[in-house]
Amino acid sequence: MKKLSYLISAFSLVSCATQQVEEKPNVIVILADDLGFGDVSAYGSNTIHTPNIDSLANGGVCFTNGYATSATSTPSRYALMTGMYPWKNKNAKILPGDAPLIIDENQYTLPKMMHGRGYITGAIGKWHLGMGSGNVDWNNTVKPGAREIGFDYSCLIAATNDRVPTVYVENGDVVGRDSLDPIEVSYEKNFQGEPTAISNPEMLKMTWAHGHNNSIVNGIPRIGYMKGGQKARWKDEDMADYFVGKVKNFITQHKDSAFFLYYGLHEPHVPRAPHQRFVGKTTMGPRGDAIMEADWCVGELLAHLRKEGVLEKTLIIFSSDNGPVLNDGYKDGASELVGKHSPSGGLRGGKYSLFDGGTHVPFFVYWKGRIHPMVSDALVCQVDILSSLAAMLHSDLPKGLDSQNYMNVFLGKKESGRKELILEAQGRLAYRAKDWIMMPPYKGSLRNLTGNELGNLGEFGLFNVKTDPAQQQNKATQYPKILDSLKQHFFSSVEGYYHGEVEEEPLK
């Protein structure tokens, strides 16, 4: 009997070990839009309170050196989905709402990898990677799109909430489309008789500051022109609830299967039009209130995972597509009402910027009961999510990806992350190696219309972001050997890029 008992126990241990190795947690990637390093209270801000987002940071691994690859939306999302640096794809730049899909249908992607390991895959929320193959007909099924790059289900906005078409696209079809009121979209000229912010300012409930003076939808002027589709047009104030509902439905429908969900929050991107429940929740106007709405979205997701009994079975990665911006095209008081709040958390620059604030973003990895809560200084990047999840799931990857496996770092088992990282801001590149950031000299304006610094120094910049996170001290002349070493590594890594691919080539 003792021998039999021993064998049963041994068999149980082997079974548990096998089960542990083969366990496939659900995976959710939450990507906020224009949320800065200082916009969540988990990093110490006392001017804003984000309890639900903080619960991910405080209950998991809170990275102090987490990065998007890029300082704008489309490129950073491209890197997340493909595991490739976006500057290698000349089409990976801020897209209009009618742009074709910039990920090749035959390209290896994160959702394809997850699908290949038996996951049901879903994409809900902001997309901004293009749809269709050009000259999109929004009155028929739009493809290629999310399905063609690996998602079983999708419910998306094509680009940003300040661009037309202002409609939801579910599995390639515009929700609520009407054949009697066909949708037309143009980024070149207006449709005859259609009101714009210029011709009909009396229709506006939100005033434009720069670049947002074309078609009016829901009293808000947009980028681009749109005609028709009146029944299909979204109401901005209801967008958070709409997508939260889709997220809950997806989780409930697939709670008994392994699922992968990409959840693209639209907050706090402009136009900031949070639901009435959140208006006035902060002293910072619509931008602060939109962050409160984003925090609510995260709370609703966590509560629903708990309700369905799958919270402990779900690995959650939270981050932002790029750094923050205040005045991004609308007069919503963001700049005037920011007060003592620092959206970038003291980092220099923000969205559009080659300075650290453009790409250094919130980054948390949470798995209830499986990750020991900790703060990590490891250098990590969204481009590595693909390879890291592939390693966890024992999935083979094609050669040539820029994505690297740091799953043990994401899970808090190791504290040593990337040694180097190439960062991008609208075609301009910089190089981070350990605690140093090297910025090549670029010509051009010091700031754009948003007021954010762009990082065009006109000379080589060398900053130690551990001792000088605000990048106020250029050490290029003080440490010439370090600068020369970083320049050598950087220019060899990007060889061939500066040959007509960007408007202004940096000096070597």
The average pLDDT across 85-99 equals 97
What is the mean predicted confidence (pLDDT) over 187-196? Answer: 97
Q: List the structure tokens of 413.
A: 């088992």
pLDDT, mean of residues 257-266: 98
- Contact yes or no for 278/289 (Cβ under 8 A): yes
What is the pLDDT averaged over residues 324-351? 98
pLDDT tens digit string along 358-395? 999 999 999 999 999 999 999 999 999 999 999 999 99
**Is residue 486 within 8 Å of residue 436, measured between CB atoms?**
yes
Q: What pLDDT is recorded for position 5?
A: 40
What's the confidence (pLDDT) of residue 159?
A: 98
Q: Which of 15-19, 42-46, 49-53, 86-90 has the lowest mean pLDDT?
A: 15-19
Mean pLDDT of 423-442: 97
Residue 33 confidence (pLDDT): 98
Using omega within 30 degrees of 0 as the cis cutoff, is the peptide bond preceding 144 cis? yes
Residues 29-33: what's their mean pLDDT?
99
Please tell me the predicted confidence (pLDDT) of residue 10: 37
Determine the average pLDDT of the residues in 331-341: 98
- Please report the pLDDT score of residue 23 as a whole number: 73
Strand (E) or helix (H) holding 263: strand 259-264
Question: Confidence class of residue 13 from pLDDT cuts 50, 70 and 90?
Answer: very low
Strands (E) in 333-419, as ranges, are 363-366, 374-381
Residue 61's H or E segment, with its range, is: strand 61-67
Smallest Cα–Cα separation from 158: which of 132, 189, 196? Answer: 132
Amino acid letter for position 266: H
Confidence of residue 507 (pLDDT cuts 50, 70, 90): low
Report which residue type is found at 491: F
- Alpha-carbon distances, residue 100 vs 96, 104, 129, 160 (angstroms): 9, 10, 8, 15
- Of 158, 270, 168, give the one whose Cα is nearest residue 211: 270
Whole-number mean pLDDT of the chain? 94
Looking at per-residue confidence, does 22 or 94 come out higher? 94
Tell me the average pLDDT across 211-232.
98
Task: Say what the pLDDT of residue 496 is.
Answer: 85
Q: Is the pLDDT of residue 234 over 50?
A: yes
Kindly report, residue by residue over 103-135, the tens digit of the pLDDT.
Answer: 999 999 999 999 999 999 999 999 999 999 998
- Which of 16-20, 102-106, 448-452 shows the lowest mean pLDDT across its residues? 16-20
CB 351 within 8 A of CB 358: yes
Alpha-carbon Rg for the chain, nearest whole angstrom, is 23
Predicted local confidence at residue 189, as pLDDT: 97
Question: What letter would DSSP give residue 95?
Answer: P
Q: Report all structural domains of the chain as residue ranges with CATH numbers, in order of start.
A: 24-182+228-410 (3.40.720.10), 184-223 (no CATH), 420-493 (3.30.1120.10)
Residue 423: its H or E element:
strand 420-425
Q: Of 190, 189, 302, which Cα lies nearest the Cα of 244?
A: 302
Q: For the ranges 3-17, 61-75, 131-145, 191-205, which has the lowest average pLDDT?
A: 3-17
Residue 499 has pLDDT above 90, yes or no: no
